[in-house]
Amino acid sequence: MNKAVYTALATIGLAQFLKIPIKKVKTGVWDWGTFVETGGMPSSHSAGVSSLATYVALKRGVPTIDFALSTIFGLIVMYDAQGIRRQAGELTLKVNEIDEQLERIKGEEDHHFHDRKEKKLKEMLGHQPEEVLGGALFGIMTGVISHLLTKKS
């Protein structure tokens, strides 16, 4: 593998790890499972593609086809992370509430069965715009650092 790939993969891992202390600050709970979850701050998708594009720009130059490809790829990934995937996440919130709402409509007592349901759909799929921006800024920073660390003297 080349250094650009290492940079992007390391950045994705670091962004995923950063979600743990950020969630701790927000909720007061250490949740190590956050490392393997999608969604949240910062967007590891945005961080990975931004670090790749930044590294390529610094290593090969902005006018290269390499930078053009990594930038367009990155923009598509970031758009998808905060657009389509977020909408899918919001849709799953509604799907997860349907059974409970049907019980209420029928006048049945809520025994919170659905709160304990094992097969509940994953609700946190995409990102808010600020999470995408946070990931992109983190990726730019790691791309610059990686380039500086691997630069030949």
Please tell me whether the overall predicted TM-score, pTM, comes out greater than 0.95 for this model: no
145 backbone dihedrals φ, ψ, rounded to 5°:
-60, -45
In the predicted model, is pLDDT for residue 96 greater than 70?
A: no
Most confident of 32-36, 111-115, 136-140: 136-140
Specify the range with the lowest mean pLDDT, choosing from 77-86, 88-97, 127-136, 143-152: 88-97
Nearest to 53 by CA among 39, 67, 32, 73: 67
String of DSSP letters for 95-124: HHHHHHHHHHHHT-----GGGS-TTPPP--
Predicted local confidence at residue 109, as pLDDT: 65
Q: Residue 23: CA atoms inside 13 Å, Cβ hemisphere, count? A: 19
Banded model confidence at residue 67, pLDDT cuts 50, 70, 90: very high
